Amino acid sequence: MANAAYGRRLLDAAGFTVSTPRVFESNALFDTAGGDLYAAGGLLRVRRAGDRGVLTYKGPPLPGKHKNREELEVDVSDADTLSEILDRLSLVVCFRYEKFRTEYRRPGEGGVATLDETPIGVYLELEGVPMWIDRTARRLGFRESAYITASYASLYERYCEKQGIQPSDMTFDSVPPPLTR
């Protein structure tokens, strides 16, 4: 997406309103030292969003045009202590990423649209049942060929490859802006 202002205009024109105001998120992905969880297609994430902490497990992605995988989440009162517990269990942080997220909804609909402002670009994510995603994507002017199901870690790796930089963490203070050509 070109920028966050364009995304906000697009959502507004389609009848979406802000359901959760813009908040800074800091995410840490944990795995074993050998990368066993990643190798199995899973993910364990500790997210800090404002004063909220969330532990998320995601199972392997299922094939298809929509991103679909088991997701279990639980709110935690102290994300820092949870991270220390995971460290004591020999899990290590394998990737960190940051973003600003704003959530939008349309009255009477079950899905949610999120506008994510990341160090590598702005992304619009549609979460809901497949029929709602397809209908909403069309309403917003997107074709199925524009769907992105890659993780932020994968998108970041591609960004670094294009920019000729070594990947590390996708944080606002560590990612250089895109090269102008």
User: Confidence band (pLDDT; 50, 70, 90) for 181?
Assistant: very low
CA distances for 78 relative to 75, 95, 104, angstroms: 9, 20, 27
- The phi, psi pair for 133, rounded to 5°, reads -60, -50
64, 80 contact by CB (below 8 A): no
Q: What is the mean pLDDT of residues 118-129?
A: 95
CA distances for 160 relative to 18, 25, 62, 122, angstroms: 32, 21, 26, 16
Residue 61 has a pLDDT of 86
DSSP state, 57?
E
Residue 68 has a pLDDT of 87
Q: Is 160 helix (H, G, I), strand (E, B) or coil?
A: helix
- Give the distance from CA 2 to its chain's centroid: 17
111, 128 contact by CB (below 8 A): yes
Domain-wise residue ranges, the chain: 4-163
pLDDT digits (tens, 9 = 90+) for 45-95: 999 998 899 999 999 988 888 888 999 999 999 999 999 999 999 999 999
Residue 179 has a pLDDT of 60
State yes or no: pLDDT of 175 exceeds 90: no
Q: Does 139 or 181 have the greater pLDDT score?
A: 139
User: Confidence band (pLDDT; 50, 70, 90) for 124?
Assistant: very high
DSSP state, 108?
T
Tokens of 84: 């220390």
State yes or no: pLDDT of 178 exceeds 90: no
State yes or no: pLDDT of 43 exceeds 80: yes
Give the chain's mean pLDDT. 93
State yes or no: pLDDT of 106 exceeds 70: yes
**What dotted CATH number matches 4-163?**
2.40.320.10
Q: Does 152 or 175 have the greater pLDDT score?
A: 152
pLDDT over 90 for what percent of the chain? 86
